[in-house]
Amino acid sequence: MAKSKYEYVKNFETEKKLLPNCWIVVRIDGRAFHQFSTKHKFKKPNDENALALMNRAASVVMDEFKDILLSYGQSDEYSFVIRKDTTLYNRRGPKIMTYINSLFSTSYVYYWSHYFKETRLKYPPAFDARIILYPTDENLRDYLSWRQADCHINNLYNTTFWALVLKGGLTNTEAEKRLCGTLSSDKNEILFSEFNTNYNNEPIMYRKGTILIRKRIKNPEHGKMRQVILPLHEDMIQDNFWQKHSEILAIKS
């Protein structure tokens, strides 16, 4: 049973390294989460526990992979931004991508019951992952702006849609039809005039998603500094965020 006779098959494996000096983004995304959220009775338009669980899973990933500088999550997706000078797994893309995705996935199941005390997890969910390179800080910021703008657009739509359905008594199809072709301003108006809702007063986590960054904070008891993973719900599209947290992009490449 000579193993060596067969070992030539290892040569069929490819091992492409990621281009150096580029920001690395791994984005994970829930598979068929529309159905998953229905089966597990997620609250509409946003389920606070479901989002908290996503954030928890992302925190586990950040705890494990110190080269992740920032993570951003909304809905059933999470993006992990890895330092451009990382040497993690020798910059082998598939290795980085699959470990992050797997750990996020297992953490989601592992911590399910902490966030859903009443609802049993009916089946194991799955997430896919992709890995993307961004050469410049501007490209990276635009990526994050893209995801945060996506969060806003979807959340405004969903908030209005579910107001029409849950409070307005429309069927799903009627609500869809009503919103077809509407602008943001139209949706804001519907919410305000028909449901007495000022969209800007909706919970900021729903409107902006969740940013996880590392910060060194002082322990209030003994005064020692330690690093924590801090959840933020700020606007990353404006410069202000990046000035306030200037250490994120401060890496010398």
CB of 224 to a second copy, least distance (A): 25
Query: Which residue number, 14 or 243, has a Cβ lying nearer to a second copy?
Result: 14
User: Sign of dihedral through CA atoms 148, 133, 215, 251?
Assistant: negative
What are the distances in angstroms from CA 17 to CA 21, 34, 197? Answer: 12, 35, 50
Say whether residue 198 binds a second copy (CB under 8 A). no
CA–CA gap between residue 209 and residue 231 (Å, rounded) = 10
Say whether residue 159 binds a second copy (CB under 8 A). no
Q: Binder to a second copy among 130, 167, 177, 215 (CB under 8 A)?
A: 130
Burial class of residue 124 (count of CB atoms within 10 Å of its CB; 0-12, 13-18, 19+): exposed
Task: Name residue, tokens 């500094």.
Answer: 225
Say whether residue 146 binds a second copy (CB under 8 A). yes
Burial class of residue 159 (count of CB atoms within 10 Å of its CB; 0-12, 13-18, 19+): buried
Burial class of residue 129 (count of CB atoms within 10 Å of its CB; 0-12, 13-18, 19+): buried
What are the distances in angstroms from CA 165 to CA 45, 75, 122, 168, 178? Answer: 10, 20, 26, 5, 11
165 and 175 Cβ atoms separated by less than 8 Å: yes
CB of 87 to a second copy, least distance (A): 11
Q: Binder to a second copy among 85, 142, 176, 234 (CB under 8 A)?
A: 142
Residues in contact with a second copy, total (CB under 8 A)?
66
Residue 39 forms beta bridges with which residues? none
Q: In the range 52-111, which residues lie near a second copy by CB under 8 A?
A: 60, 64, 94-95, 97-99, 101-103, 105-111
Pick the stretch among 13-21, 46-54, 75-83, 197-205 that binds a second copy (CB under 8 A). 13-21
Q: Binder to a second copy among 42, 72, 127, 161 (CB under 8 A)?
A: 127
CB of 149 to a second copy, least distance (A): 4
127 and 30 Cβ atoms separated by less than 8 Å: yes
CB of 212 to a second copy, least distance (A): 17
Pick the stretch among 37-45, 145-153, 161-169, 225-233 that binds a second copy (CB under 8 A). 145-153
Q: Using CB under 8 A, list all residues that contact a second copy.
A: 1-3, 5-14, 16-17, 19-22, 28, 31, 60, 64, 94-95, 97-99, 101-103, 105-111, 121, 123-136, 138-139, 142-143, 145-146, 149-150, 152-153, 184, 237, 253
